[in-house]
Structure 1
Amino acid sequence: MTYADDEVVRAAGCVLWRHSPYDGELEICLVHRPKYDDWSHPKGKLKRTEAPLAGALREVEEETGHLCAPGARLPTVRYQAQGRPKEVSYWAAEATGGHFTPNNEVDRIIWLSPAAARNRLTQARDQQLVDALLGILNPA
């Protein structure tokens, strides 16, 4: 089935990462959304004329309280949400500072090793983004 462009829900987000302040190891930030009781990467719907990268950075700041430096583009994730096709553009993004404050949309964040993040993610489709990030940060 094909959909008109205006039927596709467009969203954007980031796989937010940092080097642990404790041991320097790579950590990935996941957000917990109480509405869905799930763990995911920070993301959200784009505003009408918003560019995907700008929306991704806005969503990271709104959901995690962190500013970030965007890096490489990651795979776009496509799925059905409430009977409509959804397309989420993602970027790798290094956290550059900030502080989380719980809000209605996100009540918790957690910084985890890549393996623990992959295991904590609620949706299997989000796990591929961890692998994509690792491929960019640690090229063979």
Structure 2
Amino acid sequence: MTRKPDVIAAGGVVLRTHHNKGQQVLLIHRESYDDWSLPKGKGLPDELLPETAIREIREETGVTACLDLRLPTQKYTVPKGLKATHYWRAHVVEQRPRKPDAEVQKVKWFSIEEALATLSYDIDRTVLTAAIELPATNVLLLVRHGKAMLRKDWTGPDQRRRLGGRGRKQAQHLMDLLDAFCIQSLVSSSATRCVQTLEPYAESRRLPIRHVDILTEEEGTEHPKRVARFMAELMAGLDRPTVVCGHRPVLPAMYEGLGMAPKPMVVAEAVALHLDATGTLIRSEVFKPKA
């Protein structure tokens, strides 16, 4: 039986391409440990791991980042027991000056070769090597809509049935996950409960939501092959981080179009599919709702 970690943390391999110096990675120096390492830290209550990674990168380096591919988790022993640190490859959206504090004294960009020689820990070198060697990817987030009002409590057309109180809270929570992956394209069943699941993020980023009738419960269950074809075409044309929201009865056809076996999903659950330029699945990860 696999031992459960006593401490869980998250961080990132933050990369950029400098116009003169080529690819670089951001490292932090902590005088208290006399080390150079990748930015990382422990999560806050009710914080999903990607959200922890984004927050810790920002707090320790001054960088606002977008997460990319999930990297190998590193497990090692610390005074408090077994620690598991989850990493993502990340790129810079914005960098602001950061004053040294008690936790981190220096933040510096290194070439990959310099970083591999400078890092204090083999586990960090392992993660950095994976970030460089794994192919470029795009993320497709598949989401089941948030908890809707009960059918017995709704008198209008089911297509217009809205999110309930729990569902609205789930939609608000989903914003942080979509933000961590810097989602730029939003696709949804045209049913109100699906659209409302993505609306808080869409409004915060001033992004449109593409309404798709074939993903609705009414049309999708009647024409599953059309659903599968739509998803296959969406995956083939994926050119930016994208989220697509659907319904439980339509999810099997959506998965079929992605070339994957269907997986049960609870309301507001998200599955991140990391796909390379050929549409090959490199890695997937599941995020359970926080409400």
1:130 to 128, 131, 153: 128
Instruction: Quote the Cα distance in structure 1 between the aligned partners of 2:21 and 2:27.
Output: 18
Aligned-pair identity (%): 34
* Aligned-partner SS, 1:23: coil
Offset, 1:136 = 2.5
Match of residue 119 from structure 2: 121
Q: Which runs of 5+ in 2 are unaligned?
A: 137-275, 277-291
* Aligned-partner SS, 1:109: strand
Match of residue 53 from structure 1: 50
Q: Which has the higher contact order (CA 8 A, sep 6+)?
A: 1
Which one has a bigger Cα radius of gyration? 2
Offset, 1:12 = 0.1
Instruction: Quote the Cα distance in structure 1 between the aligned partners of 2:128 and 2:95.
Output: 22
Deviations 1:65-111 (A, max 9, x none): 01011100000000001150000000000011122312221110110
Aligned counterparts, 1:30-69, within 5 A: 30-69=27-66
Q: Number of residues paired by the alignment?
A: 136
1:26 to 23, 28, 53: 23
Q: Which runs of 5+ in 1 are unaligned?
A: none
CA RMSD of aligned residues (A): 1.9
Task: Give the TM-score of the pair, scaled to structure 2.
Answer: 0.44
1:86 to 63, 83, 86: 83
Instruction: Quote the Cα distance in structure 2 between the aligned partners of 1:104 and 1:137.
Output: 36
Instruction: Quote the Cα distance in structure 1 between the aligned partners of 2:31 and 2:104.
Output: 7
Detail structure 1 runs of 4+ shifted over 4 Å in the superposition: none
| 1:98 paired to 2:95 | yes
Instruction: Quote the Cα distance in structure 1 between the aligned partners of 2:55 and 2:120.
Output: 23
Q: Which has the higher strand share?
A: 1
2:70 to 70, 73, 76: 73
Q: Which has the higher helix share?
A: 2
* Aligned-partner SS, 1:75: coil
Are the structure 2 counterparts of residues 9 and 82 from structure 1 closer, same or farther at C-alpha, using a change threshold of 3 Å?
same
Instruction: Quote the Cα distance in structure 1 between the aligned partners of 2:101 and 2:62.
Output: 10
* Aligned-partner SS, 1:85: strand
Q: Which stretch shifts more, 43-52 or 95-104?
A: 95-104
Asked if the contact 1:27/1:114 (under 8 Å) is kept, the reply is: yes
